[in-house]
Amino acid sequence: MDDATARMGTGGRRLTGPRRAVLDHIAASRSPFTAEELCEALPGIGRATVFRTVKLLQEMEFVCRVPLEDGSVRYQLSEGEHHHHLVCSECNTVREFVDPEIDGLILAQAKSLGFRLQSHSLELYGRCSICAAD
C-alpha cells in the first residue's frame, strides 16, 4: 500500500485526507469488500469519494474487482501481476492465482479467431478447502 500512497501523489492525483482514510481501511481489510461496506465503515467520507477512490485504485491495479456468482461485485487488494480468482461460493473467500499456460491458451484462442484481446478475467467458483471439509 506504500506504493499506492506514493503513486497517488503523482500524475495530478492528490492524496487527500479522505483518500488516505480509504487506503488505510482497505489496507487493514482482511477479506473482499464492497464499496458500500467501505461507505458504512467510513461515515465521515463522502460516498462519491469512496467510489472514485476505489475506481482509481482499480485503475492503478492496487485493488482488483471480483465478480461473484450472484452477480455482485467485491474488491480486494491485488497481489500484483495479472492473475485470476478462485471464489468460494459458501464463504466468499477469494484466492488469486497466476497461470501463464491458461493465459497463453486464452491469447491463442483469441488470435485464432482474429480477436484483438485487450484484457481478460477468469473467476473459478467452488468451495474452498475449509468449506469443503465441513
Give the pLDDT confidence score for residue 1 in this predicted structure: 57
Q: Which of 3-7, 27-31, 41-45, 70-74 has the lowest mean pLDDT?
A: 3-7
Residue 3: which of 60, 53, 51 has the closest Cα?
60
Q: What percent of the chain shows pLDDT beyond 90?
A: 54
The pLDDT of 108-116, averaged and rounded, is 96
User: Long-range pairs for 116-123 at CB < 8 Å and ≥24 separation?
Assistant: 121/65, 121/67, 121/84, 121/85, 122/84, 122/85, 123/66, 123/67, 123/84, 123/85, 123/86, 123/87
* Domains, the chain: 1-78 (1.10.10.10), 81-134 (3.30.1490.190)
Q: Grid coordinates 503513486 are at which residue? A: 7
Computed over every residue of the chain, the mean pLDDT equals: 89
Q: How confident is the model at residue 82 (pLDDT cuts 50, 70, 90)?
A: confident
